[in-house]
């Protein structure tokens, strides 16, 4: 989910929590609710815990063939310790922004449309400096569940609908709230996209093309990213007619710097004409 491009950001924290809770409840006493951040899980281990159907079935088959009880306890303890180490490793790899991820989960479509919901003041304090804007977003947050919305399954589509919504007077009633929510949704939740970019760069600038300059490399990467965003490939992409006309001309080899220089020269000449 963290490596996917179409992940619902508001659900990531819940998935992480569910994964950890599943592992913790597997090896601890059912009468205790363990917080791995403040408590030592090794103090609450259940040495006779249920380790799953396949494990217990295999142990039973081995016991029927004469597997000693002492060896069973050793094997079971090793499996429990493995799960405990796995929990520790997951905890060590949790992102530093886990607190922010928990807060962002409040803007999920399910929680946003709930009548009894948490406010967003503590989240806004991180990103919004204007007291007036915070008050306006908070008022809109308290009203948003009073309307009926079409996009109630996907969080991104929901906030897109909210951003486009206008009341009877044509006023964007929830513009500030929707803009703030979308700002939270575009925050990077992992470094997967950066890793993909480095991989693409290494494929493009290989040993045979090691003298490629940054301008060409950047242009090729932009084209690849643009193709992916449009869901197209080079074999089905139709080149715009104005680009085709530039092929073989000087315009196709002009850099952004040259274009900006030409625009400045045109602007200066226009000012001279006006003065004259």
- Per residue in 94-141, pLDDT (tens digit) is 766 677 777 888 888 888 998 888 888 888 888 888 899 999 999 999
Query: Of 47, 71, 94, which residue is a domain's last?
Result: 94
Asked if 219 and 170 sit in the same domain, the reply is no
- Residue 106 · residue 120 · CB < 8 Å: yes
Using pLDDT thresholds of 50, 70 and 90, give the confidence band for residue 82: very high
Rounded CA-CA distance 202/221 in Å is 11
> What's the pLDDT score for residue 94?
73
For residues 251 and 245, give the distance between their C-alpha atoms in angstroms, rounded to a whole number: 10
Where helices occur in 144-206 by DSSP H, the ranges are 155-164, 175-185, 192-204
Structure tokens at 53: 């159907």
Give the end of a domain, one of 138, 153, 185: 185
To the nearest whole percent, how much of the chain has pLDDT over 90?
21
Count how many domains the chain has: 3
The predicted-structure confidence for 192-225, as pLDDT tens digits, reads as follows 677 778 888 888 888 888 888 888 889 888 888 8
- The boundaries of the domain holding residue 251 are 192-265
Q: How many angstroms from the chain centroid is the CA of residue 68?
A: 49
- C-alpha 186/C-alpha 9 separation (Å) is 9
Q: Same domain for 199 and 178?
A: no
Residues 77 and 129 in one domain: no
Helix (H) or strand (E) holding 165: none
The C-alpha atoms of residue 112 and residue 156 are separated, in whole angstroms, by 12
Q: Is 240 found in the same domain as 175?
A: no
Q: Tell me the C-alpha to C-alpha distance, in Å, between residue 208 and each of 204, 205, 217, 218, 254.
A: 10, 8, 14, 17, 25
> Domain check: are 90 and 14 in the same one?
yes
Identify whether 261 is part of a domain.
Answer: yes
Please indicate, yes or no, whether residues 164 and 223 belong to a single structural domain of this protein: no
Residue 259 has what pLDDT? 52
- In angstroms, rounded to a whole number, what is the distance separating the alpha carbons of residues 189 and 177? 21
């Amino acid at each position: 989910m963290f490596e996917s491009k179409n992940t619902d950001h508001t659900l990531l924290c819940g998935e992480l929590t569910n994964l950890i809770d599943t592992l913790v409840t597997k090896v601890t006493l059912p009468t205790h609710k363990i917080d791995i951040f403040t408590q030592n899980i090794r103090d609450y281990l259940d040495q006779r815990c249920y380790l799953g159907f396949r494990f217990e079935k295999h142990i039973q088959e081995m016991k029927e063939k004469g597997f000693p009880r002492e060896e069973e306890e050793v094997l079971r303890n090793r499996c429990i310790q493995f799960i405990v180490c796995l929990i520790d490793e997951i905890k060590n790899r949790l992102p530093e922004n886990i607190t922010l991820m928990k807060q962002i989960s409040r803007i999920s479509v399910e929680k946003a449309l709930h009548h009894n919901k948490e406010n967003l003041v503590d989240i806004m304090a991180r990103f919004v400096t204007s007291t007036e804007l915070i008050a306006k977003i908070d008022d809109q947050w308290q009203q948003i569940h009073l309307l009926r919305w079409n996009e109630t399954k996907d969080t991104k589509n929901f906030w897109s609908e909210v951003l486009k919504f206008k009341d009877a007077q044509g006023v964007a009633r929830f513009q500030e709230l929707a803009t703030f929510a979308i700002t939270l949704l575009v925050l990077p939740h992992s470094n997967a996209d950066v890793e993909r970019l480095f991989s693409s760069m290494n494929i493009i600038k290989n040993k045979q093309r090691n003298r490629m300059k940054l301008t060409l490399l950047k242009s090729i990467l932009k084209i690849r990213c643009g193709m992916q965003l449009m869901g197209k490939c080079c074999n089905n992409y139709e080149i715009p007619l104005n680009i085709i006309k530039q092929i073989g001309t000087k315009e196709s080899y002009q850099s952004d710097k040259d274009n900006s220089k030409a625009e400045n020269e045109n602007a200066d000449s226009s000012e001279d004409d006006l003065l004259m």
